[in-house]
Amino acid sequence: MPGESRRTPLFFLAPAVAALALIGLYPTVFALVTSFRRYNLTRARDGFPFVGIENYRRVLTDETFWDTLALTGKFFLTVLPVQILLGIAIALLLHRPGWNALRALTRVSLVVPLATTYAVVGLIGRLVFNRDYGVANQFLSWAGIPALDWLGNPTRAFVAISVMDIWQWTPFCALIFLAGLSMVPVEIEESATLETSSRLSMLRHVQLPYLLPGLTSILILRSADVLKLFDMVFVLTRGGPGAATELVSVYIQRVGFRVFDMGTASAQAILLLVLTIVLSRAYIRFVYREIEQ
Amino acid sequence: MKQRTLTRLLHVLGLAAALAFALFPFYWMVSSSLKNQVDLLASPPVWLFKPTLAHYADIFSDERVIKGVFNSLIVATCTTIAALLLGTPAAYALARFEFRGKGDLWFWFISNRMISPIVLALPVYLLAQSLRLLDTHAVLVLMYLTFTLPIAVWICTDQFRSIPADLEQAARLEGASQFGIFWRIYLPLGLPGVAVSAIFSFIFSWNELLYALVLTRRDANTAPVVATSFMTGYELPWGRIMATSTVIVLPVTIFALLVSRHMVRGLTMGATK
């Protein structure tokens, strides 16, 4: 555009950039500095001396830290396939013509889990999975399975946080896949319906290519979300019993705010940040291709 | 023909199942908030009961809950206003200007969406402590901008791009200043996008727990913190917990229904249009 000075965009961008630098970058630098210090709040009288890479060495040889990362990975691999398969199924149901009112209602209702406060999802989970008066055990009793102690058992507590996550995020996958399905040109879909009566080959040959871009975003965003996941798990299990549901963000919160070892926690947080930046890079690569070039 | 009836039947059953799946926990929360203590602790749980509003009367006379909701309102509203004030001009610059480092800037904005709040919560706790900002609305508003500002920038950039550049040229010929163009053309014409990003900013700030948990003590506790603080002791006041939860979730659910068409866009920052 002619007639505009090079400074103009600066004038419009400066406030946002300054604000994000102040609240995002500055604390990150502060965390980086803290990660090189012995910074235990319960022993503030000893001061906070620089200790070089000692915190990093400790974190990288700390089995618990690796365990929580592995657990986070296991959680991701547990919930994601379910969310993707259920999401595709729901998207196909919503895409198929017929039952228009019910379809519209179901589509709108998918927004409800997504908008529910994460902490409240945890609270609902506490009630639903209660051993004595939880409705989860009532469902099981209808199938003839005796009542189980969910939140007191490591494996079942893990199942409980998985179920709540699947409830909250399956709609997200369904809506993304639905957006993908609506991109399939109508003529192609119609002629394919005439040629083949098999739903499966229709899905595979006609619809699948339109689902793949959405799948990439789901993979990257959900892995970032699982690394961030704190609220729901903290409220539902506090990471317990033992460390059975202690995902990486929950663990770092415990080291920082319940053990008050800020130095170690900062080192862990910086490592988590590095992981996240790699993920965001990948996301930008795939999703914003046109902007990067 | 028989085949078609069967698939139609399966279709409606599937849709009903999806609807039940999406709404059940919400339904269970609301219905539990209307049960009396005996029904709440019934084993197995009861589905038909005489509803009572007693828990709502309880929480609305509980100063902590009222204050929590009030704090949440202040924080979410201030965050939303700040995100729009800072985000819309930036979005205008990103939508209409080419400059060096634009890609990097964009990446930096978006990557804030991915960062775990615990990464910032640790240093910000220490910084806020030394600045005496712990337990204030201000520190929460500042931290909530880390995720609301990128969303406002993203949605508004997208919206501003769709405004014809001819309008801008015409205004310039008439002698409008750059800021005038932004204020009189882009903001009003981009209002739908601005409104959507406002609603998202509000929802995300309202729903946040981690920052509120570690950065507030008593005075600035938000509603989710108050709701989770009921979870102590042996006999849990489930009626009050679920009533408070309903009070927290209901308003944002209504907001979310208003922007349901944009929900995925808000959550993915543009992965799908």
- Tell me: the pLDDT tens digits for B94-146? 998 888 888 888 888 878 888 899 999 999 999 999 999 999 999 999 999 99
Q: Quick check: B147 and B204 in contact, CB under 8 A?
A: yes
Percent of chain A topping pLDDT 70: 95
From its phi and psi, is residue A130 left (phi > 0), alpha (psi between -120 and 50) or beta? Answer: beta
Residue written as token pair 């919206």: B159
pTM for the model: 0.91
Cβ of B273: how many Cβ atoms within 10 Å? 8
pLDDT digits (tens, 9 = 90+) for A204-263: 778 888 888 888 889 888 998 999 999 999 999 999 899 999 999 999 999 999 999 999
What would the pLDDT profile of B173-191 be if each residue is shown by its tens digit? 888 888 899 999 999 999 9
pLDDT band at B169 (very low <50, low <70, confident <90, very high): confident
Query: Which residue from A140, A181, A169 is spatially nearest to A232, judged by alpha carbons?
Result: A169
DSSP state of A281: H
pLDDT of A1 > 60? The answer is no
Is the pLDDT at A197 greater than 80? The verdict is no
What's the confidence (pLDDT) of residue B231?
82
Nearest to residue A94, comparing CAs of A178, A171, A161? A178
Find out whether B32 and B55 touch, Cβ atoms under 8 Å: no
Q: Are A120 and B249 in contact (CB under 8 A)?
A: yes
Query: A169 touching B, CB under 8 A?
Result: no
| Torsion sign over Cα B160, B165, B167, B169 | positive
Most B-contacting residue of A8, A20, A120, A287 (CB-CB within 10 A), to test interface: A120
Look at residue B9 and give its three-state secondary structure: helix
Our CA-based measurement puts residue B66 at a distance from the nearest CA of chain A, in whole angstroms, of: 17
Q: Which A residues 70-99 touch B at CB under 8 Å?
A: 89-90, 93-94, 96, 98-99
Q: Residue ranges per domain, chain A?
A: 63-292
Q: Cβ of A214 and B272 within 8 Å?
A: yes
Instruction: From chain A, pick out residues whose CB is under 8 angstroms from the CB of B90.
Output: 12-13, 15-17
CATH domain A63-292 topology: MetI-like fold (1.10.3720)
The C-alpha of A66 sits at a distance from chain B's nearest C-alpha, in angstroms, of 17
Identify residue A163 by its one-letter amino acid code: V
Across chain A, how many H-helices and E-strands are there? 16, 0
Confidence of residue A290 (pLDDT cuts 50, 70, 90): very low
Q: Which of B15, B46, B147 to mutate to test the interface with A (most CBs of A within 10 A)?
A: B15
DSSP structure string for A11-61: HHHHHHHHHHIIIIIHHHHHHHHHTTB--BGGGGGG---B-TTHHHHHHHT
* More confidently predicted of A118 and A192: A118
- Convert the pLDDT of each residue in A2-28 to its tens digit: 445 667 788 899 999 999 999 999 999
Residue type, A87: G
Q: List A40's β-bridge partners, or say none.
A: A261
pLDDT of residue A202: 78
Q: A49 CB near a chain B CB, below 8 Å?
A: no
Structure tokens belonging to residue B66: 């009222």
Mean pLDDT (chain B) is 91
Q: Do B127 and A114 touch (CB under 8 A)?
A: no
- Read off the tokens for A7: 């400074």
A289 and chain B in contact, CB less than 8 A: no
Contact in structure between B72 and B222 (CB atoms under 8 Å): yes
Q: 10 Å Cβ neighbour count for B222?
A: 31
Interatomic CA distance for residues A65 and A54, integer angstroms: 15
Residue to substitute from A123, A183, A225, A230, interface B, most B β-carbons within 10 A? A123
Residue B270 has a pLDDT of 62
| Mean per-residue pLDDT, B19-37 | 96
Residue partners of B121: CB distance under 8 A and separation at least 6: A253, A256, B143, B210, B211, B214, B215
Phi, psi of A261 (to 5 degrees): -95, 80
Tokens of A119: 């902490």
Interface predicted TM-score (ipTM) over 0.90: yes
Contact B118 A172 (CB under 8 A): no
Out of A6, A102, A253, closest to residue B118 by CB:
A253
| The two structure tokens encoding residue B265 | 């866009």
Residue A250 CA, distance from chain mean position: 13
| SS3 state of residue B66 | helix
Residue of B34, B84, B45, B30 lying closest to B197 (CA atoms): B84
Average pLDDT, stretch A164-175? Answer: 96
Q: Locate tokens 């609807």: which residue?
A: B19
All structural domains of chain B, each given as residue ranges with its CATH number in brackets, are 67-237+251-268 (1.10.3720.10)
* Cβ-contact B151, B204 below 8 angstroms: yes
User: What number is the average pLDDT over the span B266-272?
Assistant: 66
Residues A124, A125, A126, CA angle at the centre, nearest 5°?
A: 90
| Chain B contact present for A13, CB below 8 A | yes
**What tokens were used for B195?**
């409104």
